[in-house]
Amino acid sequence: MLIVEDVTKNFGQFNALKNINLEFHNGVYGLLAPNGAGKTTLIKMLTTLLFPTSGSIRYDGEDIIKMDERYREMIGYLPQEFGYYKNYSPTSYLLYLAALKGIHRKTAIARVEELLKTVALDHVANKKMKKFSGGMIQRVGIAQAMLNDPKILILDEPTAGLDPKERVRFRNLLTNLARDRIVILSTHIVSDVESIANEIIMIKNQEVLYKDTVSNICGNIQGLVYETKVAYDETERFRSTYLTLSEKQENGSMYMRFLTEDTAKAEWKPVHPNLEDVFLYIYQDGVLSDDQTA
Amino acid sequence: MRILFNEIRKLFSVKIICLLLLVSFIVYQQFIMFEFKYFPNGRPLLDDFRATQKMLVDYGKSMDNEEFEDFKEIKEQRIAEATEYLKSQKEMVAADIDTYEEFSNMDLENEKLAALHSKIFFEDSVDIFWEIQARDGIIDRYEHPERFIEHELTPKQDARMDELVENGSTKAIFTDMVFDNYNALIKFVAILIFLNIMIILMPLYIRDKRNHVQLLQYTSKTGRKLFSQKLVTGISAAMIVITTQLAFFFFMYKGNDTSMFYPLPINSIFNFFVSWYDLTFFQYIVLTVICVYLLGIALVLVGAWISSIAPNYMTSVGLHVPLAFLLFGSGTTYLVQNLTIIYSNPYLAPISFVIILVLSSLLFMWRYRSEKVKNI
């Protein structure tokens, strides 16, 4: 079990995170927040790249900083900016990282071969990575994070650059992996985590706002989300009145999905809120309030 | 070991190896090959070298007064042979130059005589005449050991000079031609080696930082220990470079055919360099090699520090400029080339090495300690 207890992180005068308390068991955790909210700071503290200003992070009761390499040998990490050497092939690069992870060479060779098959890069296993697409590089990144069969898999924006097919494959892979390990997935793309995360963690104003299941989080705005048809010339006024969550044109009309705490009108159709609605509500409600105040 | 091997492999990339070969080729062509190609450099240095080699064969490591008389006797024989040669030359006889004495006292202002003189030396290159000149030089130096006896130095230096006269250094056979040649060569080779080390170490940390690989390295089991392991990598790479360069240099140097001078003391009337210590030429060579290794290690420490703090290659090059200026100038002059020279303080080199190694180690240690607690 991984516990984040009263963790605060300051960079000089800037407060990036304050009093974060979290608990991770086996399963997928989606860390969902807009860019700049502090996701990467939290992730970097979980991977010992950053040290908390106060508070502690403990694995099975032991401080991860004190555990040192005993902790790091249990983690797999895919950073937001996945670094690699352009002139290395995936095989040679993964073997290089395997050595750093303390994996025996023979084991590493077999593991690299297996992982490259898993991420569908076995056909380019010995090609230099300089000619790889963004998606292929990202898949090398995913493979390296799983090299040591980690008990804690931490992925920072892992689906960046992946095409829809690869995203689906990746999600399935994570679901399988999460059965016997902690998977923490940081993203600002709601669809990456909505279907697979056991729990979603949302950070706002440097603090954890929610750590709950998708349905419970969505329940917070139950009864506030509607869909309605709006005439084209009414759309601007509608947008400024309500928080629009999505819009689409159909049959010459504008279909708006929106959130409001006002009493429902007859033409509004209540719908089940999804995680994206919550995301937009939480991170744009400031804008809405401002607009409404105006 | 795998980590070390992997890191070394990263440093010796194909591009870097090509760059090292190119730099080595240029430095050899511009500065080093000359000392191989033109050794001994012209005449009578060639004849001086040959005469010294013969002295070694005939008299051993030193030349006592009796042997010196024999050396002078050989010169007289050569003069007789030169006279015979002159007598056999019609134009010389016609010019009334039929003895060596007359030849050596020729009026070179006279164009006709100057042409005849030039013909003997440069057109016909008659060895005897060159050899006599060389032997004259050797005799002159042997007969005038004033440099050792009449000197105005510090009391400590005076005492050392007196000690050298007493222990027979004024009779020791050696030649500054060999010594100066080696000293010139080792300076350029040291500069080349340090240049190689700078090139090879520049990407040590920068490359990983720029490629964002550090995030993966520091979250692996090895973690931030890699920072110090990279220093071991740097030292290993430097050892490879130094050893390879020195091996190639000594392979080339073998061609100068100076091996017979290795067991000879460098303190000699025939060598302008005077050492604080009674070193043989071989010991001096070993000392220079040790100093190149020590400076190489210090350079690795400083180079690694630069690579770890510089955000990019341009900054790193900029930081290397004053280092290169110091190292290629004073560094090689006092800490490789003129080791143990009597005109410098005897403690200059050892104290300098201790200071350089301690400071560079502290610099790196300080960086290592900050890296261990740094937010990445």
Residues 6-25, chain A: which have Cβ within 8 Å of B?
A: 11
Residue A293: the pLDDT is 33
Residue A283: the pLDDT is 84
CA distance B320 to A109: 40
Residues 106-165, chain A: which have Cβ within 8 Å of B?
A: 144, 148
Q: What is the mean pLDDT of residues A277-284?
A: 86
Residue B72: the pLDDT is 93
Predicted-complex ipTM score: 0.88
CA distance B68 to B213: 71
Residue A291: the pLDDT is 39
Residue A213: the pLDDT is 92
Question: Cβ(A81)–Cβ(B212) under 8 Å?
Answer: yes
Residue A172: the pLDDT is 85
Summarised one tens digit per residue, pLDDT across range A205-244 is: 889 998 999 999 999 899 999 999 988 888 888 888 889 9
Q: What is the mean pLDDT of residues A268-294?
A: 71
For residue B276, what is the DSSP state? S
Low-confidence residues of chain B: pLDDT under 50: none
Virtual torsion, Cα A194, A197, A203, A209, nearest 10 deg: 90
Summarised one tens digit per residue, pLDDT across range B102-142 is: 888 888 888 888 898 899 999 888 899 999 999 999 999 89
Considering chain B, what is the average pLDDT of its residues? 92
Residue B232: the pLDDT is 96
Contact A102 B222 (CB under 8 A): yes
Summarised one tens digit per residue, pLDDT across range A16-32 is: 999 999 999 999 999 98
pLDDT class of A292 with cuts at 50, 70, 90: very low
Question: Cβ(B87)–Cβ(B141) under 8 Å?
Answer: no
Residues 28-57, chain A: which have Cβ within 8 Å of B?
A: 44, 47-51
Residue A79: the pLDDT is 93
The rounded percent of chain A whose pLDDT value lies above 70 is: 97
Residue A287: the pLDDT is 39
Residue A188: the pLDDT is 81
Q: What is the mean pLDDT of residues A81-103?
A: 94
**A-B C-beta contacts closer than 8 Å:** 73
Q: Which of B213, B225, B373 sits opposite A83 (nearest CB)?
A: B213
Positive or negative CA dihedral for B274, B341, B292, B330? negative
Structural domains of chain A ordered from first start: 2-218 (3.40.50.300), 221-293 (no CATH)
